[in-house]
C-alpha cells in the first residue's frame, strides 16, 4: 500500500499492472456476442433471399399467376402453386378447427380440474406429443389411422352426408383413407401440445384476484374460465392459435404420408391433396438442377416461407403484447 | 340468468368433456407409443445395430444410418451450440433492452417455428448446388440451423433467471465482462443451458425433411462428410414407404429407436428445467 501514498503516478502504474485482464479480451468477447446476434438476422435474410432467387425463374416463366394457377403438370412443364397453397391452408385450418376445442378443454382441465399432484405429469405427457418426430406421426398415420378412417369413418359419412346438397360436396369420392381430412386430423394432434402449453401459460398469468372475485359472487369454475380467464388472455390465446397454425402450415413428413399426394384441386375432405411442403418433399427427387420444376419447387418454398412468416410474426406480436403487459 | 341447477349441470358437463379431452390426448400418445413398441420391438435385434442397410431380403440393418445420424448431429451441435450460446448470451446480457436485441429475438422465434423443409431447401441452394453434390456437411449445416434457435431461446431464458446481483458482485470485484459471463452467469445457469442443448439434440435427431435435400441418404457405408450420407430418419422414410416387409419392419425398429431417444431426452430436460424453476 506504500505506492498509493507516494503519489498519483505510482498509483496509475499499479492500477495498470493489475488491470490488464479484459482490456483486449473484452472487446473481442463482446464483439463475438454481437456478431452471433447479427448472424441470426443475416441467416433469416439469407434464407429469404436464396429461396426467392432460386424460385425467380419460375415466377418469370409463369408470371404472377403462378400463385393461383391450379396446373401442376411435370410432363408439359406447366406449373402453378394454386393446388398446394389451397391444400396447405385447408389442412392447417382443419387442424386448428379440430385442435382448438381440444386445447380449450385440456387447458381447462390442467388449470382448474386436475388435482395438484397430477397436473405436471399430465402436462408433461401432453407436451411429449410435441416431441414425437414428424416422421413417426407419418408412419402411425399411414399404417394405423388411414386404414381405420377408410374402413370406419369415411363410408358412413359418404353415405349419410354425401347426398346433402352443398354440404355433401365435402364428403365425396372413394373412401381412400388418405386425404385432406386425415392430414388435418394428424396435424391437429401435432399442434395440440403447442396451443395447449401456451393456453396454460396464459391462464396461469390471470391474476387470482380476478378469478376469486368471480367465485365470490357465486360463479362456477366453467363460468370463471369462460367469462374471466379466457377473456383476460384472449389476445395471447389468439397468438397461441396462430402459432399452431404456423406449425401446421410447414409440417412435412407427417403430411406427406397421409395426404395422398394428388396435385388436383378438390372440394371433398376425403379427396387426396397436396400441401406445399409435401409437394416439395415428394417431387424434389425427380427435379434436376436448373430445371423449371426445381425452380417452381423453390418458388413454392418461398411462398410457404412468406405465409408462415406472416402467421408466426402475428402470433408472436399477439403473445408478447399480452404476456408483457 | 339460468337457474342454479342448470348452471351446475353445465359446469359438470364441461368439466367432464374437458377431462375426456385430456384423457383422449393421453390415449393417443399411448396409442402411438404402443404402435411403435408392438411393431418395432419384434423387428429389433442385434442385426439392426451391427449390419448396414442392404437390399430387401438380404438381412440388412441400420448401422450406417445410425452412425451417419450421430455424425451429422454431432457436427451440427459442435457448430450450432457456440453460435446459439453466444447469441442467447447477447440477448440476455449486452443486448438486453436494446432495439437490436428485440429484432434478433423476434427473428429467432420465427426461425424456431419456421418449416424445417425450407431450411433444407435453403442449404440445398447454399451448399449443395454450388459445391456440386449432396453431402454430410450440408446435412450437418441444415441441422445446425435447427439447433441454433433452440439453444438461443433456452440460453436467454436461463440467463435471465440468474440474479443481477451476482453479476454486479463480480463486476464490483473488477472482473472484465468475459470473466463475469463465463465464470459467473454461464456457470450459474449451467444446468439450464445444457438442457437447451439436449432439447436441440432431440429436435435435430428426429428431423427428416431438411436432410432430404442435403445429405440425401446413402445405402452404403460412408463416413465421408463430402459425400451423400445415410441418416436414420431418411432410412426410415425410404423403408416405411417400400413394399418389402423386412424393410418396413426395419423402419419400425428405427422409428422405435429414434422415438425412445428423443422422448428420453425430453423427459430428462423437463425434469432439470422443473428443478431450476
Over the stretch A137-146, which tens digit does the pLDDT of each residue have? 999 999 999 9
DSSP string, A215-227: HHTT--HHHHIII
Q: What is the pLDDT of residue A5?
A: 43
Average of pLDDT values for A256-265? Answer: 89
Of A17-31, A46-60, A97-111, B12-26, the poorest mean pLDDT is in: A17-31
**Are B262 and A113 an interchain contact pair (Cβ–Cβ within 8 Å)?**
no
Note the pLDDT tens digit of each residue in A202-241: 999 999 999 999 999 999 999 999 999 999 999 999 999 9
Q: Which three cell numbers stand for residue A218?
A: 357465486
Note the pLDDT tens digit of each residue in B106-147: 999 999 999 999 999 999 999 999 998 899 999 999 999 999
For residue B210, give how far its alpha carbon lies from the nearest alpha carbon of chain A (Å).
Answer: 9
- Percent over 70 (pLDDT), chain B: 99
d(CA A165, CA A31): 66
Q: Are A269 and A183 in contact (CB under 8 A)?
A: no
- Res A84 pLDDT > 50: yes
DSSP string, A155-198: HHHHHHHTTSTTGGGGG-S---S-SHHHHHHHHHHHHHHHHHHH
The model's confidence at residue B277, banded by pLDDT at 50, 70 and 90, is low
Pick among A25, A33, A251 to test the B interface (most B CBs inside 10 A): A33
Instruction: Give A82 or A11, the one with higher predicted confidence.
Output: A82
CA dist list (Å): A89 to A132, A245, A274, A320, B131: 23, 9, 10, 25, 35
Chain A interface includes B157 (CB < 8 A): no
d(CA A49, CA B148): 20
Average of pLDDT values for B60-81? Answer: 95
Average of pLDDT values for A88-96? Answer: 96
CA-nearest residue to B126 within chain A is A50
Note the pLDDT tens digit of each residue in A177-204: 889 999 999 999 999 999 999 999 999 9
Note the pTM of the prediction, 2 decimals: 0.92
Of A159-168, A297-306, B184-193, B262-271, the poorest mean pLDDT is in: A159-168
What DSSP element (H or E) covers B190?
helix B190-206
Chain A interface includes B169 (CB < 8 A): no
- Res A8 pLDDT > 70: no
Average of pLDDT values for A34-63? Answer: 94
Chain B from 72 to 91: CB within 8 A of any A CB: 82-84, 86-87, 89-91
Average of pLDDT values for B239-263? Answer: 94
Average of pLDDT values for A284-302? Answer: 90
> How many CB atoms neighbour CB A124 within 10 A?
14
For residue B194, give how far its alpha carbon lies from the nearest alpha carbon of chain A (Å).
Answer: 18
Q: What is the pLDDT of residue B27?
A: 97
Residue A102 CB-density burial (10 A; 0-12 exposed, 13-18 middle, 19+ buried): buried
Pick among B20, B34, B121 to test the A interface (most A CBs inside 10 A): B121
d(CA A287, CA B186): 47
Q: Give the phi and the psi of residue A273 in degrees, each rounded to 5.
A: -140, -160
d(CA A165, CA A21): 80
Q: What is the pLDDT of residue A3?
A: 40
- Percent over 90 (pLDDT), chain A: 66
Query: Helix, strand, coil % (nearest 5) of chain A?
Result: 80, 0, 20
- Res B190 pLDDT > 50: yes
**Are B107 and A41 an interchain contact pair (Cβ–Cβ within 8 Å)?**
yes
Amino acid at each position: 500500500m506504500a505506492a498509493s501514498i507516494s503519489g498519483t503516478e505510482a498509483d496509475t502504474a499499479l492500477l495498470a499492472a493489475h488491470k490488464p485482464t479484459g482490456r483486449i479480451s473484452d472487446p473481442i468477447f463482446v464483439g463475438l456476442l454481437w456478431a452471433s446476434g447479427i448472424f441470426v438476422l443475416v441467416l433469416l435474410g439469407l434464407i429469404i433471399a436464396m429461396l426467392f432467387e432460386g424460385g425467380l425463374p419460375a415466377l418469370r416463366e409463369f408470371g404472377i399467376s403462378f400463385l393461383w394457377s391450379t396446373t401442376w403438370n411435370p410432363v408439359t412443364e406447366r406449373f402453378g402453386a394454386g393446388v398446394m397453397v389451397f391444400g396447405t391452408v385447408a389442412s392447417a385450418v382443419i387442424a386448428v378447427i379440430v385442435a382448438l376445442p381440444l386445447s380449450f378443454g385440456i387447458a381447462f382441465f390442467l388449470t382448474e380440474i386436475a388435482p395438484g399432484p397430477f397436473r405436471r405429469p399430465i402436462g408433461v405427457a401432453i407436451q411429449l406429443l410435441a416431441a414425437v418426430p414428424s416422421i413417426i406421426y407419418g408412419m402411425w398415420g399411414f399404417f394405423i389411422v388411414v386404414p381405420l378412417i377408410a374402413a370406419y369413418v369415411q363410408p358412413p359419412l359418404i353415405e349419410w352426408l354425401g347426398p346433402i346438397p352443398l354440404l355433401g360436396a365435402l364428403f365425396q369420392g372413394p373412401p381412400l383413407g388418405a386425404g385432406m381430412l386425415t392430414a388435418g386430423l394428424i396435424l391437429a394432434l401435432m399442434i395440440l401440445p403447442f396451443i395447449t402449453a401456451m393456453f396454460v401459460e396464459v391462464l396461469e398469468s390471470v391474476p387470482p384476484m380476478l378469478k376469486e372475485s368471480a367465485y365470490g359472487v357465486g360463479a362456477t369454475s366453467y363460468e370463471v374460465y369462460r367469462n374471466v380467464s379466457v377473456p383476460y388472455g384472449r389476445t395471447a390465446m389468439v397468438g397461441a392459435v396462430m402459432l399452431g397454425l404456423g406449425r401446421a402450415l410447414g409440417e412435412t413428413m407427417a403430411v406427406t404420408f397421409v395426404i395422398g399426394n394428388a396435385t388436383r384441386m378438390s372440394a371433398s375432405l376425403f379427396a387426396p391433396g397436396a400441401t406445399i411442403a409435401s409437394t416439395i418433399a415428394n417431387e424434389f427427387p425427380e427435379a434436376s438442377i436448373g430445371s423449371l420444376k426445381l425452380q417452381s419447387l423453390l418458388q413454392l418454398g418461398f411462398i410457404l416461407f412468406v405465409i408462415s412468416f406472416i402467421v408466426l410474426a402475428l402470433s408472436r406480436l399477439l403473445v408478447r403484447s399480452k404476456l408483457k403487459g | 340468468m339460468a337457474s342454479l341447477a342448470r348452471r351446475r349441470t353445465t359446469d359438470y358437463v364441461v368439466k367432464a368433456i374437458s377431462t375426456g379431452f385430456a384423457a383422449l390426448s393421453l390415449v393417443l400418445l399411448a396409442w402411438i407409443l404402443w404402435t411403435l413398441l408392438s411393431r418395432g420391438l419384434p423387428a429389433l435385434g442385434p442385426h439392426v445395430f451391427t449390419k448396414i442397410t442392404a437390399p430387401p431380403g438380404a438381412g440388412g440393418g441400420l448401422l450406417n444410418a445410425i452412425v451417419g445420424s450421430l455424425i451429422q448431429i454431432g457436427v451440427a451441435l459442435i457448430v450450432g451450440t457456440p453460435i446459439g450460446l453466444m447469441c442467447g448470451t447477447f440477448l440476455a446480457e449486452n443486448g438486453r433492452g436494446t432495439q437490436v436485441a428485440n429484432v434478433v429475438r423476434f427473428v429467432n422465434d420465427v426461425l424456431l417455428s419456421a418449416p424445417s423443409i425450407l431450411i433444407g431447401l435453403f442449404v440445398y441452394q447454399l451448399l449443395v448446388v454450388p459445391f456440386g453434390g449432396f453431402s454430410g456437411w450440408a446435412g450437418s449445416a441444415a441441422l445446425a440451423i435447427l439447433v441454433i434457435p433452440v439453444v438461443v431461446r433456452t440460453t436467454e431464458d436461463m440467463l435471465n433467471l440468474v440474479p443481477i446481483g451476482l453479476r454486479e458482485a463480480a463486476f464490483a470485484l473488477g472482473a472484465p465482462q468475459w470473466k463475469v459471463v463465463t465464470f459467473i452467469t454461464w456457470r450459474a445457469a449451467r444446468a439450464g443451458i445444457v438442457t437447451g442443448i439436449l432439447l436441440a439434440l432431440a429436435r435435430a435427431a428426429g428431423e427428416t425433411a431438411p436432410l432430404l435435400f442435403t445429405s440425401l441418404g446413402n445405402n452404403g457405408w460412408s463416413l465421408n462428410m463430402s459425400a451423400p450420407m445415410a441418416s436414420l430418419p431418411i432410412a426410415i422414410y425410404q423403408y416405411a414407404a417400400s413394399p418389402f416387409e423386412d424393410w418396413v419392419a426395419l423402419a419400425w425398429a428405427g422409428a422405435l429407436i429414434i422415438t425412445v431417444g428423443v422422448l428420453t431426452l425430453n423427459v430428462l430436460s423437463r425434469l432439470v428445467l422443473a428443478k431450476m424453476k
